[in-house]
Chain A
């Protein structure tokens, strides 16, 4: 365990110092990795803790993003205030979906499809909400970029990087302590065998709802970040099922239910995507679409041969069993 702590501290140190040495490009890549590490961690709470496969997590990113952006655009309410409304809305949504699912005993593939249906329904719905820009998109006015305005969440790339780093580290720490708490044991019990857990007297409904609400709320924060980082939102892009898939790629490849899985998965996938592009460019194979073919092949191989994700294999190698 000590070894893990040391390695973790080392990694954190490296990440803290990154903006000092990295180019803006590398920083933007790193921010993206941390974004997916964070959302992956949030998704992992629902999947790894409560065993529910959500394929519609883009719903929370989108609703939160639009809520905060809408408040800012129409009323000038800053992101730190809008954040609370965003979290509230997403938690309510999550609870609704959870309630519908658990009350009516929907699980597995059916639950996954339910989440997809909600996300798609919302996507088309938002295309018709003119107050939020409709399909034309919602553009937030971008202020000075060289000054750091933490209140309105505007500033240099380094600021966004550190905020995302704080979020990702915070999520990691939160999940760590949650797993070790009573809640964590209940969740693991439910995940392994729900009926047995119920037989032991655990109110599985309540704990599953808690996991769903937590997951939704955490993802909401990412949504608000997204809105103020990119400064424009389109329903077609933010609620899209491909975004939901992007969110879950990290944890599944990294290792579902593990703490470090989402982070490792996000890092590996982002670097892989960029790496393949560079490699193909160097080899002169600039055929559109070929990068995605290689990307898909790697995904396929990982899923086939590392069914528990990359992290468990790596953990064994570096002597950190968890």
Chain B
């Protein structure tokens, strides 16, 4: 090699080193991410679901951002007291940022701890609007509030009716009477009357106990309204009970639409109900099936969970991953684990390459991301299929359901 070539090579090497994500000198330390999720107790199933997203994060983030993170997992046991002490414990053990906790009650407790200690907290999933109305400086949420969920969900219902050329006149609204269900019901009550683009009226509202194992009365009442379709805010277990009860009582409305809640797209729903799960619709935040990051995550997921498919854990894995990604991205920019610097860096977050549907990840003054969008997910062929928005759709929506029998 002569000197010119050597110089070229050296310049090339220097350039590569300068632009290399592995800028080792500034980031000798790993970012310690405390992950708080309910892995036991009543929410154990969903907590473990979210944990899958956390588990695959370090590997994907290393490839993507060149940042090394260390997970510190803690179980909130679906108990607010435990969430609080676990959060304190994680901070004491050196967690630089906390991520979690799926439940609004626990989120409130952890947010206070983080506010106290000045440690950033990135919420993966929790819909209570109040959490970002408390004036916390260290809490960030990358998940729509129940108000946003409902607004997006109702808009998608309009799109659904337009695309399928259907115009149902009446709906019966059933909702589970817990924190989440009630927040949604309130949001629907507030928003629906103000919308003029929806052709239907709600003829009756039926609230039911989340712990109820028998929903005969509720379904009887709903059937007796002769409504065109069922608007349902539910959770997994009651969704299954309701669907079964509808079959037993031979009630086949145009469709079952969830305007922004879990349940009908979770793997248990398909496993337990089989064919009966077909055509149920859920308007929920979802990943963009065409995004590159989604593909990466799917590969990592398949490797870690060979017997499972990402689509059944879309929401839980996606938002948990994005929460950790936000932390890692902030770390990359801040180049420090100092909590104040990290928090400021999180505040300046602007991530365009993301997995979930919606605009870029940007926090408003209250620490809330405003751009998260929902997709219309329909159960087709025993899997959750994105049918709207058209740009991300994998198939065309089916409405009304083929079993629809006019009462």
Contacts and interface: CB of A to CB of B under 8 A. Distances in A.
A and B touch in the complex (CB under 8 A): yes
A234 B210 CA distance: 14
A142 B134 CA distance: 6
Interface in B26-67: 39-40, 44, 47-48
A321 interface: no
A148 to B, nearest CB: 13
Nearest to B107: A232
Contacts of A136: 128, 179, 182-183, 186
A78 interface: no
Interface in B142-179: 177-179
B15 interface: no
B108 A139 contact: yes
A137 B105 contact: yes
A98 to B, nearest CB: 29
B81 interface: yes
A308 B114 CA distance: 41
Interface in A207-238: 230-232, 234, 236-237
Interface string A132-149: 001111010110010000
B181 interface: yes
A25 B44 contact: no
Contacts of A286: 73
A230 B109 contact: yes
Interface in A229-259: 230-232, 234, 236-237
Nearest to A24: B88
A136 B181 CA distance: 8
A141 B108 contact: no
Contact of A28 (B47, B85, B133): B85
Among A127, A128, A141, the one with the most B-chain Cβ atoms within 10 Å of its Cβ is: A127
A232 B179 CA distance: 12
A125 interface: no
Given A234-B105, A288-B48, A25 B91 contact: yes
Interface string A277-319: 1000000001011011000000000000000000000000000
A12 to B, nearest CB: 24
B103 to A, nearest CB: 10
B383 to A, nearest CB: 27
A145 B75 CA distance: 26
Interface residues of B, number: 40
Nearest to A142: B134
Interface string B98-139: 000000110011001101110000000000101101111000
A289 B42 CA distance: 11
* Chain A, interface residues (CB within 8 Å), range: 20 to 34
B59 to A, nearest CB: 19
Contacts of B109: 230, 232
B116 A230 contact: no
B85 A25 contact: yes
B89 interface: yes
B80 interface: yes
A61 to B, nearest CB: 12
Contacts of A141: 134-135
Interface string A23-61: 111101100100000000000000000000000000000
A20 to B, nearest CB: 16
Given A28-B85, A232-B108, A137 B135 contact: no
A157 interface: yes
A274 interface: yes
Given A25-B91, A141-B134, A234-B105, A135 B40 contact: no
Nearest to B78: A237
B44 A236 contact: no
Given A139-B134, A236-B179, A288 B44 contact: yes
B92 interface: yes
A292 B42 CA distance: 14
Contacts of A170: none
Contact of A288 (B39, B84, B115): B39
A142 B112 contact: yes
B108 A135 contact: no
A70 to B, nearest CB: 15
Contact of A24 (B92, B128, B178, B186): B92
B134 A24 contact: no
Contacts of A108: none
A292 B39 CA distance: 12
Nearest to A234: B105
B159 to A, nearest CB: 28
Contact of B178 (A26, A236, A274, A288): A236
A230 B113 CA distance: 10
A164 to B, nearest CB: 14
Contact of A237 (B39, B48, B80, B112): B80
Contacts of B80: 230, 237
A275 B175 CA distance: 41
Given A137-B104, A139-B108, A141-B134, A28 B84 contact: yes
A284 to B, nearest CB: 12
A247 to B, nearest CB: 12
10 contacts: A24-B117, A135-B178, A135-B179, A135-B182, A136-B128, A142-B136, A145-B112, A230-B84, A232-B109, A274-B85
Given A24-B92, A234-B179, 5 more contacts: A26-B92, A137-B104, A286-B73, A288-B40, A288-B48
